[in-house]
Amino acid sequence: MSTNNISPAAINAQTEKAHDEHVEGSIAGDLEKGKNLSTGDAKNSDLGAAWLDGYEGPRTEITDEENESVRKRIDAFLLPMIFIVYFTQQLDKSSLSFASVFGLKTDAHLEGQQYSWLSSLVYFAQLVFQPLSVYALVKMPVNVWISICFFGWGASLCIMSAFTSFAGLAVWRFILGAFEASISPSMLVVVSMWWTRREQPLRNNIWYSANGMATILGSLITYGLGQANTSLHPYQLIFLVCGLIAVVLSIPFFLLFPGHPTKARWLNDHQKYISLERIRLNNTGTQSTTFKWSQVKECVLDPKTWFCVVNVFCISLVSGGITTFGPLILQGFGLSTFQTILYNMIPGAIGIVSNILSALAVTYTKRKFPVLLVASAFPLAAAAALYTLPRGAEHKSQLLGVYFILQVYQCISPIFFSWQFANTAGHTKKTTTTGMLFIGLSCGNIVGPQLYKSSEAPYYHTGLTGNLIVLCVMFGLIICQGLYLHALNKRNIRRRIAKGKTGAHIDLSLEDSSRWKELRERQRAGQALQGQAEGEEAYNDQAFMDLTDLQNEDFIYSL
């Protein structure tokens, strides 16, 4: 996609024309609803605001030491739990791919494209159930909703192991997808509720790297189960064991996982206060139980939502095809069944390493779109090389090398998720955004496997051609999205100045807490230069009023 004729000025003019009237009109209404938020208007406010209203401890600017202490505590308690949830989801979803190497098609009497349809049905279910997910994430405690889904998909996979025909497998694969529809959106909500925008990319990429861990451990589990001598077909044993893991783990998760920072039993009141003040810096809030249709409308009309939806569709199309047909592609390189399973562990490791390195790059640079551009270049080059290389055992080394480079695509989706969530405020708008992103993800994962035709094995030219096209489109849209967010930041500077604030507001949520004191002093110096008394200008005072990013002039978009 060409961006030669797009300039920040042109985008800015279009942005203001499209949004100013809507935003200014809705701000007045939402501010009127939220005028008592500081005194605990629970109906319209963020849940954090109601808790802060009753907090009787000291209300001071949090220090680097306090921030680090609470952050480490949050990391220690929450990161392992959300990692395990996503690991089991990926293990259960990928069990179909593992089973394909051990005679699933023969034992379950699958014909033609039925295997591809079994893969796609999960995403059809996620597509259908996204609206329920969006609503549930507003109206229900997030820990309760995740626990229900956690148990549900594990039980579904266990039941699925009883079937030996396409019809039965298809029904329960769809039900499994329905329960899995909320998990990734829930993880994004949880991360935005507990970590600052600087911290979010690494945490999102850590739980998303469970995908790679599921590939590694799933391959080992499959290797062992595939050699077991039982009355069950290998695929049935794989489904049953993977499903039971989720069922068992869902019980302690329900008992231990807090639904909100104010509900964490392992934080005292002062630590809860610090956890909320950390999130205040994001200007995105934590959670509101009021479903606001005005925020749904704004989300649908917001161009940056659609930039990210299309980008997620593109990378999910690549992911869907490679995840489903990865083991079969490896077999086409001249590998045996068990070599295929063992070599399939390497992409999992590449996924983990690329996820962590890309997240660290985002944290260090405080920029997501340059990291996305670099990460996108790897699968683009690898897909082109895989398309042209011949197949066969004599070319195994080159084919494996290119295939492993292709696996860098795994780090792209979580950065997109972090980028969009860091730039979206208002709880209903955030949950609607996740729903739309995962509609894009589901559509990509539906289309991706269908492009890989068994009749084209081992070359799969149609699938690789589709990958090349969408990766090029994604590359162009990343540039467009960066330009658009730059224009929105310029617009908010003018809005802050119009309200008597210093335009160049410093976003502490993107900075290391060791610099907060220095940056606060610099901000106050800027106020003094403009003739404002200390404390006259209050930034982030609207953070818990459940305003959207377009409504809050203090919001700074992360590039």
- Listed in sequence order, the residues at least 6 apart from 15 whose beta carbon sits closer than 8 Å to its beta carbon are 303, 484, 487, 488, 491
**In this structure, what CATH number is given to the domain that contains residue 175?**
1.20.1250.20
Residue 524's contacts (CB-CB under 8 Å, 6 or more residues apart) are 534
Q: Is residue 530 part of a domain?
A: no
Give the span between the Cα atoms of 129 and 132, in whole angstroms. Answer: 5
Residue 334 lies in a domain: yes
Residues whose CB is less than 8 angstroms from the CB of residue 197 and which lie 6 or more positions away in sequence, other chains included: 281, 282, 284, 422, 507, 509, 510, 558
**Which parts of the chain have pLDDT scores under 70?**
1-45, 324, 502-504, 526-539
pLDDT attached to residue 311 = 97
Could you tell me if residue 543 is inside a domain?
no
Q: What is the pLDDT of residue 33?
A: 38
pLDDT digits 0-9 by tens, 123-139: 889 888 988 888 998 88
Query: Closest by alpha carbon to 287, among 260, 306, 263, 253?
Result: 260
How far is Cα 167 from Cα 113, in angstroms, rounded to an integer? 13
Domain membership of residue 556 (yes or no) is no
Determine the Cα–Cα distance for residues 318 and 314; give it in Å rounded to an integer: 7
Residue 58 within any structural domain of the chain: no
**Does residue 278 form part of some domain?**
yes
Counted domains in the chain: 1
Model pLDDT, residue 296? 94
245 contacts: CB under 8 Å, gap ≥ 6: 88, 91, 154
- At residue 289, the pLDDT reads 82
User: Which residue in the block uniquely carries the two structure tokens 């390497």?
Assistant: 346
Q: Is residue 165 part of a domain?
A: yes
Q: Which two structure tokens, joined as six digits, stand for 385? A: 């090389």
Range 408-423 burial, b when 16+ CB lie within 10 A, else e: bbbbbbbbbbbbbbbb
Q: Can you give the pLDDT at residue 22? A: 42
Which pLDDT belongs to residue 531? 54
Give me the amino acid identity at 214.
A
Domain that holds residue 275: 64-489
- Neighbouring CB atoms inside 10 A of 283's CB total 23
- The reply to whether 57 falls in a domain is no
Residue 527 is predicted with a pLDDT of 65
Contact (Cβ atoms closer than 8 angstroms) between residue 485 and residue 423: yes
Q: Residue 181 in contact with residue 130, Cβ under 8 Å?
A: yes
Q: Give the pLDDT score at 66.
A: 93
pLDDT in tens, 430-487: 999 988 998 898 899 888 888 888 788 888 889 899 999 999 999 999 999 999 999 9
The predicted structure's pLDDT at residue 15: 43
Supply the pLDDT for residue 130. 86
